[in-house]
A and B are shown apart, each in its own frame.
Chain A
Amino acid sequence: MPDLLPIDLLLIAACAWLAIGFAGIFAPRNLRFISKILFPLGAFVAVLAGLTSLTFLGGATETAVLLIGLPDLPFHLRLDNLSAVFVLLLGFASAGISVFAAGYFRQGEGAAPGLMCLQYHVFLASMLLVLLADDAYAFMVAWEGMALSSFFLVTTQHRQAEIRRAGYLYLLIAHVGAIGILLSFGVMTAGSGDYSFAGMRAQALPPFWGSAAFLLALFGFGAKAGLLPVHVWLPEAHPAAPSPVSAMMSGVMLKTAIYGLLRVSFDLVGTSIWWWGVVAMVVGLATAVFGVLYSTVQSDMKRLLAYSSIENIGLLAVALGLTLIFHAYRMEALAALAMTALLYHCLAHAGFKSLLFLCTGSVLHATKERSLGKLGGLIHRMPWVAWLALAGVIASAGLPPLSGFVSEWLLLQAFLFSPGLPHSWLNMIVPVAAAVVALVAALAGFAMVKFYGIVFLGQMREPALKEAHDAGPWERAGLLWLAALTLALGVLPSTVIGFIDAATTQLLGTGLADQVREHGWWMLAPISAERASYQPLVFLVTIVIAGLVGRALVRRLYHGRGRRSAAWDCGYVFQGPRAQDTAEGFSQPIRRIFEPMFRMERHFPTIRDEQPYYSVKVEDHFWHWLYLPLARLTNAVSALVTRLQGGRIAIYLLYSFLTLIVLLLVARP
């Protein structure tokens, strides 16, 4: 057997996913075969892909040429450390999602299982190819494959008009974004006609064109990631898609956009200017604040999580901006710190957001209900899902000792260095950005308590919830895997940084691994132990021991007696489920404090109402300020263009004839 390089193994993994997908086509209705054999097999391939890149990390770049594609335009592939970090993310996150999916898809829900299997695995394979592509052509083909396969997955239940609309919006924005990316690649070739990434690296772009390439890439990849103002598809598509697909899109696909941004800004463009970082940071801050505020006021659990994804993407863009600013001033060690925070947050978010989306999937199956107002008390019926979701909630709220906190901690540490920037405005404004990041992190806690408290705690808001059942073994396994990842990312930061540091070193020339390794695996001290340190394991163990010792002592010294009774509630008599906060009620303070941020339609009951009711509907300002005017403009322009179409063949021939004459006149050699 010849030596197989990691890149070959990854190619085999991509082919294996495609093969699994096509195997599903042959038995489209055989649910047992598809869910119990093909999806676990896909998960197995995913774990292998993840392990492959784990062993590769820190290794030398590998390239390959695939002789498919157009004549003279083969696919160039390349595996370097940046790709490897994202392949790692893809492999480990999708392994959990695939295992979950094995227990999730069932007959009679939208498209045939075989078709789903095909789309799902094509989606996986194309994401892998996006990460491996080394020329614009291969990249765009894989990117489009990813967009199309995920579009079909989103519109699985295409018989509902609402879902078709969501899918259409998604496809539209994905393509507007793709145009941006394509143009960015075009700018970076600088007219040389060489569309391979190696060719782009060789070009030294003048600042103007470099900026153009960066801004186009920010727009194009931002559309995929959900940055303001091209975020509108996200809260529509995620609730529409089946939960494993939402998990895959939010946890993994959004990160391919971040990968693209990193690839362009640190690898392909070759220069960097400080204001790029400011642009990224401002857009990121706006996105993060917007996302978190809207996520607190949602009444649909998947929509809440979708907005929370927007918030996290915003934080990633802030980290990117900070990295760019430091990088532009050649403060590479600090840039490495910010970039580590960025990569770490990618991994952490892939873990906890997939976990939470999958939990909503289990809840959805058990209750057929997505609206927060009709859930509640599920911890009694679904203890597995509830306890695993708690891990996701704590991580998502950015609290120790789980994964979300580590990246937040690193990001804040990076911010603490920003007064050292050699620019008088920047070194005063950038620290203030840290204040906004802190606010966003704290608001994320609010949103997560709302999510968890209303779905899993309290009394059941509908009688039908009593019939809810816990997740099946496959689903549990998938959730457990992701929860374990979240925990591992939370308590072993130094080990993880040891792995992802290869990518930082490749892009910036310096990394954190040496300082981090100095202090051992249990302690994270990215700069020095005096400056800042964090030992999540000690942290966790202390809290657990304090709790356990406390419990044991109380029982030993006193007793452990207890009994059940009705709730006290200040002696209030009516204690039905409707006395609890609704989803709208819980977020009322946020709506009140941040009133100008929302577009609200409210109905207040009056004394004369026969059937008094209160309702509130929160809408996106951007929809009304940006998209609807654009749509109206498009309609008006198309109405003008319609006039050209008289319907008479003679007129059409006249158009062609006139065009021909104009061309003959203009295009003279």
Chain B
Amino acid sequence: MSISGLLWQLFAIVLALALAPLLTGWVNQCRAWLQNRSAPPLLLPYYMLHKLFLKDVVLAHGASPIFRFAPFAVFGCMLLACAIIPVLSTDLPFAPAADTIALVGVFGLARIFISLAAMDVGTSFGTLGGRREMLVGFLAEPALLMVIFTLAMIAQSTSVATIVETLAHREFVIYPSLAFAGIAFTFVSFAENARVPVDNPATHLELTMIHEAMILEYSGRHLALIEWAASLKLYAYSCLGLALFFPWGIAQGDSFLGLLVAIPMLVAKLAIGGVLLALIETLNAKVRIFRAPEFLGTAFLFAVLGLLVRLLLESRV
């Protein structure tokens, strides 16, 4: 672990903190354009965070310490996730702390905390949100794990950095199984980030919401942290997807030049990813809550199928 490595690690974390709301704003803007609405300002999420931090916290009478503790835990989990995923360079001092399986665990931990916080005040919508979030989670988590299994078998490693190095910096090989894994990953990340086929981030329609139902009782800085954590989660998933399926441009060592190239590459890839995300969201309708398990079940099965294709076609490579 070198000093420069540590510095780049810190830079990556700061970059994540700074870019995450921007990505959310960008996706919202693209969505508005595609839906013939006039777009909100690109920097709206930052104003929003600032405003929320300024406000006083209003706690419900029944809120327990878990309720106040959860936003910080969720925020910490998401920050750790962003620290592990290689966005600029594969040489991350934090990367050995958690491989991809542990990364799934980080998301799981955050989910448990936010669901518990949702159940804490004991309102009807809170428990509803918590239950639905766990419903989405128990299907999305194994699907994500199977996607990771496919990649781990290709790279012979579960470490994200090694996977990226294998895919980006060795001889170019087409892995058909990645097509399956990529589709499954896309499904999962839509579900996990409360996006359209499963949840709608733009409404507070009681009967359909999941994420928004969970955080109804939050206000002030707590809400700001949760919103920021949600942005970080979107950023983390985007970066994970880019790192696993489009790893080109991520520098291998901590050479200054490589990293200098990596930053614009990352921004460009995120911008394109944001447009695609908005496009898919616009083209699809939100499904009924009980079609959501079917949607995620399909993702799970695609991931398993990817694993099988990997074993059939590529095991003799």
Interface on A for B, CB 8 Å cutoff? 376-377, 379-380, 383, 390, 393-394, 397-400, 405, 409, 412-413, 415-416, 419, 427-428, 431-432, 434-435, 438-439, 441-443, 445-446, 448-450, 452-454, 457-459, 523, 525, 529-535, 538-539, 542-548, 550-551, 554, 557-559, 561-570, 572, 575, 577, 579-581, 585-586, 588-590, 592-593
Asked whether, in the complex, the Cβ of B54 is within 8 Å of the Cβ of A589, the reply is no
Interface on B for A, CB 8 Å cutoff? 53-54, 56-66, 72-73, 75-77, 79-80, 83, 94, 96-99, 101-102, 105-106, 108-109, 111-112, 115-116, 119-128, 130-132, 134-135, 137-139, 141-142, 145-146, 149, 152-153, 156-159, 162, 204, 206, 216-217, 220-221, 224-225, 290, 293, 300, 303-304, 307-308, 311-312, 315
Asked whether, in the complex, the Cβ of B112 is within 8 Å of the Cβ of A399, the reply is yes
* B120: A residues at CB distance < 8 A: 379, 453, 457-458
Asked whether, in the complex, the Cβ of B152 is within 8 Å of the Cβ of A416, the reply is yes
Given the known A-B contacts A413-B158, A435-B146, are A542 and B108 also in contact in the complex, defined by CB atoms under 8 Å? no
Asked whether, in the complex, the Cβ of A531 is within 8 Å of the Cβ of B60, the reply is no
* A434: B residues at CB distance < 8 A: 146, 149
Asked whether, in the complex, the Cβ of A531 is within 8 Å of the Cβ of B157, the reply is yes
Contacts A445-B134, A570-B204 known; 13 new A-B pairs at CB < 8 A: A397-B108, A412-B149, A416-B152, A428-B312, A431-B311, A435-B145, A445-B137, A531-B156, A543-B77, A575-B124, A581-B128, A586-B127, A589-B290
Q: Within the complex, what minimum Cβ distance (angstroms) separates A270 from chain B?
A: 33
Chain A residue at minimum C-beta to C-beta distance from B228? A550
* B217: A residues at CB distance < 8 A: 567-569
Asked whether, in the complex, the Cβ of B59 is within 8 Å of the Cβ of A562, the reply is yes
Asked whether, in the complex, the Cβ of B98 is within 8 Å of the Cβ of A535, the reply is yes
Asked whether, in the complex, the Cβ of B59 is within 8 Å of the Cβ of A565, the reply is yes
Give Cα A376–Cα B58 distance, bound, in whole angstroms: 22
Q: Within the complex, what minimum Cβ distance (angstroms) separates B117 from chain A?
A: 8
Asked whether, in the complex, the Cβ of B311 is within 8 Å of the Cβ of A419, the reply is yes
Asked whether, in the complex, the Cβ of A449 is within 8 Å of the Cβ of B149, the reply is no
Residue from the list A439, A525, A564, A579 in contact with B123, Cβ < 8 A: A579
Give Cα A557–Cα B49 distance, bound, in whole angstroms: 13
* A458: B residues at CB distance < 8 A: 62, 119-122, 127
Residue from the list B58, B76, B112, B158 in contact with A394, Cβ < 8 A: B112
* A415: B residues at CB distance < 8 A: 149
Asked whether, in the complex, the Cβ of A449 is within 8 Å of the Cβ of B60, the reply is no
Give Cα A450–Cα B119 distance, bound, in whole angstroms: 9
Asked whether, in the complex, the Cβ of A551 is within 8 Å of the Cβ of B72, the reply is yes
Residue from the list A394, A398, A569, A590 in contact with B216, Cβ < 8 A: A569
Given the known A-B contacts A432-B307, A569-B126, are A546 and B79 also in contact in the complex, defined by CB atoms under 8 Å? yes
Residue from the list B57, B97, B112, B204 in contact with A542, Cβ < 8 A: B97
Q: Within the complex, what minimum Cβ distance (angstroms) separates A345 from chain B?
A: 15
Chain A residue at minimum C-beta to C-beta distance from B59? A564
* B304: A residues at CB distance < 8 A: 432, 435
* B109: A residues at CB distance < 8 A: 394, 399-400, 543
Residue from the list B56, B75, B220 in contact with A550, Cβ < 8 A: B75
**Can you give 9 A-B contacts (C-beta < 8 A)?**
A377-B122, A397-B112, A416-B152, A445-B141, A534-B101, A547-B75, A550-B72, A554-B53, A567-B62
* B56: A residues at CB distance < 8 A: 559, 561-563
Asked whether, in the complex, the Cβ of B72 is within 8 Å of the Cβ of A547, the reply is yes
Main secondary structure of the interface of B (DSSP, over half): helix
Asked whether, in the complex, the Cβ of B137 is within 8 Å of the Cβ of A554, the reply is no
Give Cα A585–Cα B109 distance, bound, in whole angstroms: 23
Asked whether, in the complex, the Cβ of B307 is within 8 Å of the Cβ of A431, the reply is yes
Give Cα A592–Cα B132 distance, bound, in whole angstroms: 13
Asked whether, in the complex, the Cβ of A457 is within 8 Å of the Cβ of B116, the reply is yes
Asked whether, in the complex, the Cβ of A443 is within 8 Å of the Cβ of B138, the reply is yes
Given the known A-B contacts A446-B138, A593-B293, are A579 and B124 also in contact in the complex, defined by CB atoms under 8 Å? yes
* A557: B residues at CB distance < 8 A: 53
Please indicate which of the listed interface residues B97, B131, B139 has the most CB atoms of chain A within 10 Å of its own CB: B97
Given the known A-B contacts A394-B112, A443-B138, A539-B98, are A400 and B105 also in contact in the complex, defined by CB atoms under 8 Å? yes
Give Cα A394–Cα B116 distance, bound, in whole angstroms: 11
Q: Within the complex, what minimum Cβ distance (angstroms) separates B184 from chain A?
A: 11
* A580: B residues at CB distance < 8 A: 119, 122-124, 126-127
* B131: A residues at CB distance < 8 A: 581, 585-586, 588-589
Please indicate which of the listed interface residues A457, A547, A563, A581 has the most CB atoms of chain B within 10 Å of its own CB: A457
Asked whether, in the complex, the Cβ of B97 is within 8 Å of the Cβ of A539, the reply is yes
Asked whether, in the complex, the Cβ of B116 is within 8 Å of the Cβ of A565, the reply is no
* B130: A residues at CB distance < 8 A: 449, 453, 581
Q: Within the complex, what minimum Cβ distance (angstroms) separates A383 from chain B?
A: 8
Given the known A-B contacts A397-B112, A399-B108, A538-B97, are A572 and B311 also in contact in the complex, defined by CB atoms under 8 Å? no
Chain B residue at minimum C-beta to C-beta distance from A452? B116
Residue from the list A453, A544, A568, A593 in contact with B76, Cβ < 8 A: A544
Asked whether, in the complex, the Cβ of A438 is within 8 Å of the Cβ of B142, the reply is yes
Asked whether, in the complex, the Cβ of A457 is within 8 Å of the Cβ of B75, the reply is no
Asked whether, in the complex, the Cβ of B127 is within 8 Å of the Cβ of A449, the reply is no
Asked whether, in the complex, the Cβ of A534 is within 8 Å of the Cβ of B99, the reply is yes
Give Cα A400–Cα B106 distance, bound, in whole angstroms: 7
* A559: B residues at CB distance < 8 A: 56
Asked whether, in the complex, the Cβ of A416 is within 8 Å of the Cβ of B112, the reply is no
Asked whether, in the complex, the Cβ of A542 is within 8 Å of the Cβ of B221, the reply is no
Asked whether, in the complex, the Cβ of B145 is within 8 Å of the Cβ of A412, the reply is yes
* A579: B residues at CB distance < 8 A: 123-124
